[in-house]
Each structure stands twice: as structure tokens, then as C-alpha cells.
Structure 1
Amino acid sequence: MSDRLPGFSTLAVHAGAQPDPTTGARATPIYQTTSFVFNDADHAASLFGLQSFGNIYTRIGNPTNAVLEERVAALEGGTAALAVASGHAAQVVVMQQLLQPGDEFIAARKLYGGSINQFTHSFKSFGWNVVWADPDDIASFERAVTPRTKAIFVESIANPGGSITDIEAISTVARKAGVPLIVDNTLATPYLIKPIDHGADIVVHSLTKFLGGHGNSIGGVIVDAGTFDWSKDGKYPMLSEPRPEYHGIKLHETFGNFAFAIACRVLGLRDLGPALSPFNAFLILTGIETLPLRMQKHCDNAKAIAEFLSGHSAVASVSYAGLAGDRYNQLARKYAPKGAGAVFTFSLKGGYDAGVSLVSKLTLFSHLANVGDTRSLVIHPASTTHSQLDDAAKVKSGAGPDVVRLSIGIEDKEDLIADLDQALGA
């Protein structure tokens, strides 16, 4: 047997999967069941007591989901992963393990509008408080640290503007503060950026986007890097203190470098319940098999379209890190040398009204609230995804009134350019 480590494309097809031992099926089966039979009473007791691994109930774990979890963990370079019902669910489950009522976490201002809304409003009901920092000003993260800070959260490639985050610099701030760095890697995927290699302790994804890639399934995933010492200073009692639900087990002491993924499963997923459907896991697994091929095509198309838009008379500016003159180009070269992603924004000279008008005139681009599809997508964030923000907050998050967001698909770039050209001309 060779000692060669499999490459990324090989892992995208094979990681976590084996032929079904009963039927010989080569594709991972959909285990569409609620529950699993125990061998005997002792087996059942050992599963419920975390003394052995196995299947109990699909809300907690499922064999189809397990293949997905192992595959994403392998692609990201983590120790373990947990699949959940959506990207938003992943964020709730992560924070439940880290924060107690009254605690704070620092988040980059440049985030998906739904995350801004979740952090600002929904998390307040748990007593979790967000403190905002500017990803273009690393010192703002340092200034935001207080004794109540328990985590830092950023996106590797920010939605909607496509800006590249200096993960290593923010990781240094997190290390100094003694808190984990959480990176949402949805727009980059591990094909373009591996946040763990740059100091991330936890990685989250909306599987709905580029990993699944076909706009047919909603899901989320949490990846444990296995790099953080959860027992060091008592900041994280969910992991370091005895758990009464499990006869006094200390999760970090017992499970070591995959303790965070275990905590998310046996404390978060078990009790909050945002389970991923095995059918959705199957569809997302199928999508991941072509991730390297799709992402390269996405990026190549996006660069060509950004170059076209940057020379169009109706366009005021283009924000795409893959362009040589973009302010994030150097960071893109460092963190994402294979491509700067497929989601970016541009500003129209006609302002808000021009943005609203443009999306109605495109025919090949689909006007909807998603990214990461094989199909090219368009949206006007100020009137949709970021509409809950005031004007100042829209601008700070990269979703000003004149901004249009594109998610570039894998169609022929010439057809996409022609569609944009006719809509801009109209």
C-alpha cells in the first residue's frame, strides 16, 4: 500500500466513503431512517453514555451524514466535523458551546446580511452580544477584546463584496486574547482557501452554496481544527467542566482534539435539534465530488466578467479581488492563488434605481437570494438581503444602494457577458 497522501480531487470523491458492506453499492446510500437497532442493552447503554461510537437516532447522527462530515473534515484539514440543517444552524450550535449569557464575541462587519441580522438581533435572546470590528483594520479587533470576549468570527471571502480577509493577522489577535477564531469559509470552499492552515480553530460552511453547488439542498457544517486548548483557563465550561448529562464526563479531557465537534453533536445538535436530512446529505455529497472542477470554472468565469464590467460605461466600480488593481488583490494572491472566488459586487452609476432595474432586465442570470449555484445568480442587496440594515450599515457591509451582487456560474462566459451587456445597455 502506498503512503501517498491523497490529493484534493481524490478526497472530494472518496473521503469518508466505502462500498456499502451489505449490498456493495458504490455510491453512499441514503439511510432514510429515524433510528437504529442496538445489539443489546449494554450496547445501547455504551452509546448513550458516550463510551462507544455508533448510531442512535438521526437527529444526533446518521451514516449518510457521517460520510459528508468525514469528507468535509478531510478537505478542510480538520479533525472532525458535524453536519447540520443550515449554515445559520451551524453558527447557533457553535456559539452555544462557547458563550454563556452576557458573553461577547467579535465579528467582522463585512458579513452575509443574514449573519449580521442573526448576530445583532436573534442572539440577544440567548444573552450573546456581538461587538463589531473592521476587517480592513486589524487593530479594531484588538480594541474590541474585553474580559467577556469568547470568540472572533470572520468570513474568509466576505459576502457580498468578495473582499479577502487577512486570516493570519486576525488569528494572531485571537491567540493573544486566548479565544478561538471561527472562519466562515462558504464563499471560498477549501479548494480556494483552507482557513485552518492560516490559524482558524473552527470552520463553518453553508453547504447550500458551493460545496453542494447545485441549488437543490440546504445544509451547514462545523469543522473542528483540533487546535484549541479548551481546558486552559476555564473560559469554556461546556467543554472543560463535568457534563451532568453524561455522568460527569469532561468532553475535552475525554475526546481531546475533536472534543469541540463532539460537544456540538452531543450538546448542541442533540438538544437544539437542527438535524440535516440524509437525503440532503446525499445530494451535497454528490455535489462535492465535482467541487474542484466547478470552483475553477466559477473563478475563471468570474474574473472574465469582472474585467468586462470594469470597462463598461454604466459601471462606477467593480469589487473583485481577482482584478490586478483591486485593494484586496495582494491578499487574494496570498490566500487564494487559484482564484478569488465567484461572488463579487459592482456599483452602477445610476444608483439604487439602476440596481433594481438591472436585475429585472437580465435573462440568463437568475434573480434570487442564493450564491454558489452552477447557474449564475444576481441580486440587489440593498433592497433584499441587506434591507434590514440602515444605509450606513449597508455601506459598511459592502451593500450600498448602488451595489449589485453576482454569483457567477459555470455557463459559457461569453453568454453571461452578452446578458450583462444587453441589460446594462437597456
Structure 2
Amino acid sequence: MTTTTPNDDQDRSQEAPIRQASRLSTDTLHADRRAGVEHGGIHKPIHTSVQYGFERVEDLIGVFQGSLKGGFNYARQGTPTTAALEAKITALEQGLGTISFATGMAAITATLLTLLRAGDHIVSSRYVFGNTNSLLDSLEGLGIAVSKVDAGSAAAVEAALRPETRLVFVETIANPGTQVPDLEAIGALCRARGIVYVVDNTITSPALFQPRSVGASLVINSLTKTIAGHGDALGGAVTDTGLFDWSSYPNIFPAYRKGDARQWGLQQIRKKGLRDMGGTLASDAAHRISVGAETLALRVQRSSATALTLARWLQAHPKIGAVFYPGLKSHPQHELAGRLFKASSWLLSFELRDPASLVAVLDRLRLPVKATGLGDTRSLIIPVAPTIFWEAGAAVRAEMGIADGMIRLSVGLEEAQDLIGDFEQALA
């Protein structure tokens, strides 16, 4: 089969990352050097110290009490290496501050557990990552009510709100179904109601979208994926955009109601979620992620363009029943994604017309790595129902639109024609 030739409108939709990414790449590349690095180094070095000593005990006390900014006392709460990465993520997301964690799930867990209490209620997109969905179920066991709705409709979110609703949680592009929430309208709703708006930006990353633009209070990134991008380091982060008024939030502990109210949310997450829960990002991983972030814009530009080319090709193949990718005009949120995102990312899913052929087709593929994970330089492929959503059960899969023949593909940096050729022989 031949590759579908895009029309002029579709071509122009892929030019945006080239125009928009220049400042992002430049600032990220030179962030460490501009902040000052020992001995003229280009990168912040890997600090392995667990303890940090002080000549004056007054300074040690100041770090513990928060009056001395920029100091370190114990590596569980951060190191100079993780602090340098946090500064980069803050700049990428145009935020107020960032806290890094050992994984993306650690970032989500720390955020929810430190900001919510028994009796609170949250509204979440129905189409969230499987482990996030599992975490939400666990929260219900702790007395926190959860409503899962189709966040493609802000009206559905609004209908689920209660007087005790504290937080709304969505992902920019759902994994694996690629549903896109009505991010702008939900942001306006949360702002009007004084509700914390948490947006998981993992799939798009700040190279394609900055949730601050739609009023997000907090932004989550699984640094393991798009930002690090090489499959060699785990990490996560939560960024405060500075848009939420924490002085009005009832769940801030008295100990953290001091100083600049804009910092209260992050302070509580760092103290309760990082210090107490211990999901600390190691300096070595932070260094790897920081270096990976330098090529973020280039990688996302390339993988998004390849994903769009491959999605069009798959859509035209007679053995493919459906393709889920926001860059396709057939996608229900195509116009919304085109308005919000600079490109549609590297994530696509598709269904085989014959689900019984799923294993045989995947086994014939030679380029995509048959593995879980996302956002790698190599393409990664996995059958969804019998693996990452197996534990959820058939009822949940049906509710999320996950068919038995659904396949998830994280597109890497291979040549588009090489991937097409591999799929062509596997489907033959």
C-alpha cells in the first residue's frame, strides 16, 4: 500500500512545533549553565550526598523552618541535581515551582493524598491511565469520593460537582483511547467554583501544550516518558502554575499557612508528599532526565509527524477496523486538539478487524518493541486488553472503549517509511 498524501491544511498543522519550539529548546539547553555550574560545567553535576552540612547552625535551622531558601538538609527532600531539573520543568510549564518524584505515579499519589481528606470529593476523567484509575479506586477506600465522567463534556464534569468537591483531574490525551477533554471549559468551570484543576500533561508534554493556558492549578508530568524520552530513567513531577488561590483552600495544614500563600500548595506537597511518603527522585535519574529534556522539542516534533503519517496509513488499511489519533479528521476531538496542541503527540491506538489475529500480527512486527511503556526513542507496541488493562476487568474496559483487538503504539524516532513497511508485512 502507498502512504496517503496529506492535504495543505494537514501539512500546516505540523509546522507549529517548528515555529514554537525554538525558545523552549534554547532555554532548556542553556538552563544549567545560566544558573551557574561549578568549574564552568555545561550540566549540573550528579550530587550523591545524602546529608548537607552547614558552618552555622542558624542556617541549618533556617533550612528546616523555611526561612533560608535554596538550602538542602537531607536528600529525601531533594538535592542540587533534582533542584536543577525542577527549575527546568518549571520553566517548560511556565509555572511557579515544581517538585520532582521517583515516578509519575508517585507525583500523582503525593498530590492527591496531601491535598484531599476523608469526606472530600473529586471528579476525574473516565479515560485515565490504568494505574491512575486504580489509585482513584484506592482513594475511595480511604473515604474520598470519586466521580468518573466523560471529560470530553464540561457539562458532564459540572453535573458531577458537589459542595465537597475539591479537585478535578484530567489527562491531556487519554491513554490508550486518545480522548481529549474539554480542557478550556473545564478550566473556566474550576476557576469559577474555586476548585483545584489538575492536568496530567504526560502525553503532550510542554513541547506541545502548557496546561497553564487553560487555567490548570497543578500540572503532572511522568518525566519517564516524553520529557526524558530515552527509556533509561524513571521520574515524575508536579508543577504549580501559580493560578490557584491556596489561601482559600481548606485543606492546607496550619503549619504551612505562612509566608507567600502562592507557595502553600507546593509546600504541603513537598513536606507531606515527598518528605513523609518518601517517593524521592534519585540524582542520577534526575541528571538523565535533565539531559533528555534538551532534545524534547525535536523528538516530539519528529515522533508526532511520524505518528500522523502512520495513523493515516493504518486508517486506509483494509485489515484495520479503527484508528484513534487526534490528528485524524475522523477523531471526535480533532478540532479541539488542533486548537489546543501544537501537534497530536506520538500516541496512537488502533483495532484489528479480526481480533483473533492480534498475537500473530504483533509477533510478525520487527521494528516496534513489544513492551509496555511510552514516549521512548524506539517505537513500543502492546495489546491493551490482555496486558495493561487486564486487571481492570471486562466491564471497565467496555466503559472505556477498549476492545479486545485494540493495540497501543508509542511512536519513536524510526523513519516513517520503515515503520509502514514493517506494518505492511505484518498485516499481509
TM more than 0.5: yes
Distance 1:407 1:267, change over 3 A: same
Offset, 1:114: 1.3
1:175-190 alignment, distance < 5 Å: 175-190=191-206
Equivalent in the alignment of 1:297: 302
| Contact 1:208-1:219 at 8 Å conserved across structures | yes
Residue 197 of structure 1: aligned partner: 213
Q: Percent identity?
A: 33
Report what 1:345 is aligned to.
349
State the distance in 2 between where 1:136 and 1:395 align.
Answer: 17
Contact 2:257–2:264 (Cα < 8 Å) also in 1: no
Bigger Cα displacement from structure 2, 293-302 vs 94-103 = 94-103
In structure 1, distance between residues paired with 2:126 and 2:26: 36
Distance 1:280 1:21 in 2: 18
| Amino acid corresponding to residue 43 of structure 2 in structure 1 | A
Instruction: Establish whether residue 150 from structure 1 lines up as the match of residue 166 from structure 2.
Output: yes
Q: Distance in 2 between matches of 1:176 and 1:357?
A: 52
1:374 aligns with 2:377: yes
Aligned to 1:260: 265
User: Partner residue of 2:250?
Assistant: 235
Distance across 2 between alignment mates of 1:387 and 1:104:
27
**Cα shift at 1:350:** 0.8
Range that drifts further, 80-89 or 396-405: 396-405
Q: State whether residues 375 and 412 of structure 2, in contact with CA within 8 Å, keep that contact through their aligned partners in structure 1.
A: yes
Moved more, 155-164 or 185-194: 155-164
Tell me which of 383, 387, 391 is aligned to 2:390. Answer: 387
Tell me which residue corresponds to 1:91. 108
Q: Which amino acid in structure 2 is aligned with residue 260 of structure 1? A: G
**Quick one: structure 1 residues 375 and 44, their matched pair in 2 at CA, closer, same or farther if it must change by over 3 Å?**
same
Cα deviation, residue 61, structure 1: 1.3
Deviation at 1:12, TM superposition (A): 2.1
* Structure 2 match to 1:82: 99
Q: Does 1:61 align with 2:40?
A: no
CA distance in 2, matches of 1:276, 1:227: 26
**Other-structure match for 1:310:** 315
SS of equivalent to 2:122:
strand
Instruction: Give the partner amino acid of 1:223.
Output: T
- The offset of 1:95, in angstroms, is 1.0
Letter in 2 for 1:401: D
Indicate conservation of the 8 Å contact 2:327/2:334, yes or no: yes
Q: 1:164 to 1:104 in 2, by over 3 A?
A: same
- How far is 1:201 from its partner? 0.7
Which amino acid is the alignment partner of residue 257 of structure 2?
Answer: K
Which segments of 5 or more consecutive residues in structure 2 lack a partner in the other structure?
1-21
Distance in 2 (alpha carbons) for counterparts of 1:140 and 1:165? 11
1:76 and 1:237 map into 2 onto residues whose CA distance is 24
SS of the residue 2:82 aligns to: helix
- Paired residue total: 406
The root-mean-square deviation of aligned C-alpha atoms, in Å, is 1.6
Please say which of residues 220-229 and 383-392 is displaced more in the overlay.
Answer: 383-392
**Contact 2:208–2:343, Cα closer than 8 Å, also in 1:** yes
Distance 1:21 1:30 in 2: 11
The aligned counterpart of 1:3 is none
Q: Secondary structure of 1:204's match?
A: strand
CA contact (8 A) 1:15 1:74 kept: no
Q: Offset of 1:355 from its aligned partner?
A: 2.7
Match of 2:364 among 354, 358, 361: 361
Q: Normalising to structure 1: TM-score of the pair? A: 0.92
1:72 paired with 2:89, answer yes
Question: What is the distance in 1 between the residues matched to 2:301 and 2:245?
Answer: 36
Query: For 1:196-249, what per-residue CA distance to the aligned partner results, in whole angstroms no more than 9, with x for missing partners?
Result: 1111110001101010000011100000011111222x52233xxx21xxxxx5
Q: SS of the residue aligned with 1:161?
A: coil
**Residue number among 161, 164, 168 corresponding to 2:177 in the alignment:** 161
136-145 or 123-132: which moved more? 123-132
The 3-state SS of whatever aligns with 1:235 is coil
Query: Is residue 323–residue 350 contact of structure 2 (8 Å, CA) maintained in 1?
Result: yes
Tell me what 1:139 maps to: 155
The alignment partner of 2:40 has SS state of coil
Determine if contact 1:60/1:269 at 8 Å carries over to the other structure: yes
Check conservation: 1:47, 1:56, Cα contact below 8 A: yes
C-alpha separation in 2, matches of 1:7 and 1:395:
43
* Secondary structure in 2 matching 1:385: coil
Deviates further, 318-327 or 220-229: 318-327
Q: In structure 2, what is the Cα distance between the partners aligned to 1:39 and 1:129? A: 49
Q: In the alignment, which residue of structure 1 is the partner of 2:340?
A: 335
**Within 1, Cα distance between the matches of 2:58 and 2:126?**
50
What displacement does 1:16 show?
5.0
Q: How far apart are residue 18 of structure 1 and its match?
A: 4.1
Q: Secondary structure at the match of 1:59?
A: helix
Q: Distance in 1 between matches of 2:97 and 2:168?
A: 20
Distance 1:22 1:404, change over 3 A: closer
| TM-score, length basis structure 2 | 0.91
**Equivalent position SS for 1:130:** strand
Matched, 1:270 2:275: yes
- In the TM superposition, residue 64 of structure 1 has moved relative to its aligned partner by 0.5
**CA–CA separation in structure 1 for the residues paired with 2:47 and 2:36:** 11
Q: Secondary structure at the match of 2:77?
A: coil
**Whole-Å separation in 2 of the counterparts to 1:20 and 1:142:** 47
Alpha-carbon offset, residue 360 of structure 1: 2.1
